[in-house]
Structure 1
Amino acid sequence: MYFQHSPQLWALHPDLVAGAVVVTDGITPDADASARVADHTAAALARLADAGQEAELPEIRAWRRTFTAMGLKPTQYRCASEALLRRVRKEGALPSIHPLVDLCNAVSAAFAIPVAALDLAAVTGGLTVGPAAGDEEYETFGGGTEHPAPGEIVYVDEARRAHARRWTNRQSGRSAVRPETRSVLIVAEGMHETAGSDVPKLVSALADEVAALWSVTPATARVTASAPRLDFDL
């Protein structure tokens, strides 16, 4: 399998910094991630206390600029980390879904960087992040089907299924992590000035947490314009 960003995307967004964590087996729903989730959520709350609003964080400002450049209203379509931080600020915590999802969400909020966790069993061939043709099928969490607008940035597999819409805005229900999930691809993407150091730190922190909680050895990688494709066996 593979994960990559298209040449068109790199041309449009040369400031992108991306990293990935791959676990090919061993994820289960019975791990207790609560302590680690609490620590990362506390770190997110501390950042919010200093910034006042999530929109003031440089990581979020950069994604808002990116969404504006894509023709999206950044207050209508928010990147995943901004949506999580808004919830943390208002409720003081994040909902529990699955230990891996809970961990990824808490780490995403702590770093203010979008993180996507995808069940690889639901992905055909591999994933490419790039402009949609418009014929891709996107499955909502409610089981409905949508078609991304032509040019919209999507995660698309070889079966023409879109696993995320509006880039870091909304994942698909098709590849959401579930109790039966065993293999995952976790992607972090940053656009801010210090993303070159922050994204690798996030990837390393998340890989260490996954290794400790599930007793697995995740593979990690940085994806760049010069090395845009990550290949791995499943």
Structure 2
Amino acid sequence: MRFVHAPQIWQDFPELVPGVLSVKGVRQDARFDTEIARLLSVARVRLAGTPEGELPEIQAWRRAFSRMGLKPTQYRCAAESLLRRFRKDDALPQLHPLIDVCNAASLAFAIPVAVFDAMAIDGHLTVRRATGNERYLTFAGETEQPDADEVIFADGANHAHARRWCHRQSGDSAVRAETSSALIVVEAMHANAAADVYALLETLAATLTAAGMSVSAPRLLSAAAPEYVA
């Protein structure tokens, strides 16, 4: 599978720092309790000192959403939504071990982490502007069409696997019990994004490898080297 950001995305958001991991041998029975507890503790400390909306990582995404013509307090990046929920509930729902540890890492670093079932992606996955003809499946099973010019994750069959960039993923490629391989995409735009994205990827790679999964080396992408092939 090929993953890439379209040239227009790099032109419009030159501060973007994406990072990627591919995971094979995903295990439904993996246990990450200790690492998740550690990551949630980091998130608690950060939130105790600074509201999520004032964290530099979230502020950068709010600026990006504003530049996309979206109200940043109406459409939030996935990391901010997780942080808001965690601040209120001091817990996150348990969905799947891979999703749970990725969500915990997203909380600790305040950076969006997308996890896709690689087998549900048709050929390639491109972060690009929508034409308005793509198909998006909600988690409730409803079909939507992204707005024209909206930033989406689109595959070769014109399926949108995320809407409004890192606001919400699709039910099409959600990780499930039968998932065997996954693509993890981490994206940030703040001043220390490169170091933080790489540290987040290293954290996930070490955790998943220790659980017996086969994980690629962490990889940062750039406008000069935008392509990742799993």
Distance in structure 1 (CA, Å) of the matches to 2:215 and 2:208 = 8
- Counterparts of 1:92-111 in structure 2, within 5 Å, are 92-111=90-109
Q: Counterpart of 2:206?
A: 208
Alpha-carbon distance, 1:219 to partner:
3.5
Query: Counterpart amino acid of 1:49?
Result: A
CA displacement 1:175-212 (0-9 Å, x = unmatched): 00000001000000001011021111111111111111
Give 1:29's aligned residue.
28
Give the match for residue 5 of structure 2: 5
Name the amino acid aligned to 2:34.
A
SS of equivalent to 1:214: coil
The 5 Å alignment of 1:189-228 reads 189-228=187-226
Query: What TM-score do the two structures reach when normalised by structure 1?
Result: 0.96
CA distance in 1, matches of 2:164, 2:155: 15
Aligned match of 2:70: 72
Q: TM-score, normalised by structure 2?
A: 0.98
The alignment yields a C-alpha RMSD, in angstroms, of 0.8
Distance 1:124 1:223 in 2: 21
Distance in 2, matches of 1:36 and 1:94, equals 14
Identity of aligned residues (%): 52
- Measured in 2, the distance between the counterparts of 1:197 and 1:99 equals 25
Paired residues in the alignment total 230
What are the residue-to-residue correspondences of 1:35-184 with 2, within 5 Å? Answer: 35-51=34-50, 53-184=51-182
**Where do 4+ consecutive residues of structure 1 move more than 4 Å?**
none
Residue pair 1:211, 1:218 contacting (<8 A) in 2 also: no
Give 5+ residue unaligned stretches, structure 2.
none
| Contact 2:27-2:213 at 8 Å conserved across structures | no
Deviation at 1:35, TM superposition (A): 1.7
| Separation in structure 1 between the aligned mates of residue 67 and residue 185 of structure 2, nearest angstrom | 22
Deviation at 1:217, TM superposition (A): 3.4
More off after superposition, 155-164 vs 30-39: 30-39
Deviation at 1:38, TM superposition (A): 1.2
Inter-partner Cα distance in structure 1 for 2:119 and 2:213:
20
SS at match of 2:107: helix
